[in-house]
Structure 1
Amino acid sequence: MDSKGSLTEREIAHIARHQRENGVQRLSCHFSWPEFCDERRCFHQEFVYDVAMFAAARGFPWFNVIRASVIAKGIFPQLGAGLDVPKLLYLLRDALSECLPNLTSVHRREFTQFLTDTCITRRRLLQAVVGGAANMSIAQLHLEVQLPPTPCPLAQGTDLHEWEHQRQQAELTSTLRKMEERLRSLREGSRVTLGEVDVPEVNQLDEEGVLALVRAAVKATEGQMLASLNREASLLNDILQLKLQRAALATRRLHNPAYIQTHLQKRTEGFWEKDMASVIFLKSHFQLS
């Protein structure tokens, strides 16, 4: 057994009652550590302590706790880069058969599971430690980013961009209001006049005369109606463009052209369909006539 002979059952029981740091130091005093002479020795000692304390916590007899620490001390230096999983399993099996042949089946299963989980799931980490990665230095680069100074807030007044935004909004709103007023006047006013139609006396009209008078009136007012409808369509188009410009200006701060286009289309579809449907219908009716 690789110990100085001073690790007795009474001593290991006393070590198990210590805090971790004191327990590692006291347990390490009972072994010689020729395997490593650098920082890896500390990892080696902590590994032995953890295995021994696991055995003690599972109720192993104290002499088996001592043997568990001996197994851990012998296994750790062999966990280098050249040890793959099958070799590691063989190593654990041989160590258990040699040092702990009289374990109960329950303790053997628990101890085997603990060593397997510790050495296999943390295999790469243990290989790095045993291989000397603990002594590798890590160079860290310090990156410093200097930002421009924050300007002082305005004591009074309006930001230039905000002022320009408000001015453009006011101009568009004023122009739009004038266009809508012209459209309202056009729709409420008379679209045609019958001054060019010669209307005879009522007692001089028969059925054919009435039909002829109606045809003459329609022919005389057709050009006036088409011109009026064209003016209304032009006003509707101008109003639509102004509304699009005003909405785009209001949402420019979002910096999302796709969002603006999609939502403006939804907002203006109803307006365009409602106001233009009657114009298109009347215009096509007079053209067909």
Structure 2
Amino acid sequence: MRTLRGRKVLEEEQVPGGGGSAVQKPRHNSSRGATCWLPFRTLRPQGREHLRRLLNWEEFNEQTDSRRSILLDTLYESIIFAVGKGFPWVEVAQVVKFTEELLRETKGCSVTEAVMILGNKLRDYKGHFNTTRLLALCDYFHHTFIHHYKLYQYVLGQEQQVDLTVAHLEVCVPPQPLPLAEGMDRDLWTHKQQVAALTEAEAQKRTDMLLLKEALLLEKKNSLQKAFTSAMPAQPSRVLERQELESLVRQAVHIQMAFLQELLQCQIQNTFAILDLKLQKKTLNLNTPAPFPPPITSHAGQEEALKPHKVSKGKKAKARK
């Protein structure tokens, strides 16, 4: 009867919050009460956030304020325990109050003193819980709080120096794989890569030859300009002598011949290199690996391939007759 009344009516209780504040829980009907506690039975982050708002705690950083975060976890776990054991909703609030009082009163005490404080508080709360739930509450705090008492004291009983290092790491996801239908055999892929490399090298050779030709033309132009400038008389009205003109012509012919000789030599070397690349590519194309699995020929194609063989057999049979 008490359980049903607790589910229907959530009596006005005070749950101590952070900084000495308290949450007033007014009367609600059963649907409103169930809605109030529903987040505690769903996802943990939402349940913790709902509990923080009920306790009137200000928002805090989970990483820097680890003590408050652990305290909120402890209160949240006590609620999960009480709800899991079937405590009425009004008694769930008492469990939260019991937990916070126990944590506050045992701060700085020894294990023996903490056990005595736990026993005294259980006797004080006899009017709030029946014997079965009181024993369940005693067993819960014995296996959680008392069993890890030194850890609770270390975390909640003294100031902690937080040494926090935050590093922002960029995670690069793997590229989207190509469709399997576009895949090919490894040997065939290697062959195509080699052919592509040879084709690229051939194109690079042709480009290098064009650049070299332009450089030689520019060098020839500068050399001729320099020769003409040095041969020009100091006075513009003076005409070049025959010997000076012949020397200028010989110098220009020499520059032109040197240019043609170097250009022809480079073209011959580049042509041999291109022919060698073409030969390598031709050799690779002659040794193209067969695709795996081999292509499946149609039934009609197989019949076409067998027709010459059948015709030759028919001619041999007629010749024997």
Q: Which of the five TM-score ranges fits, normalised by the shorter chain? A: 0.3 to 0.5
TM-score (norm 2): 0.38
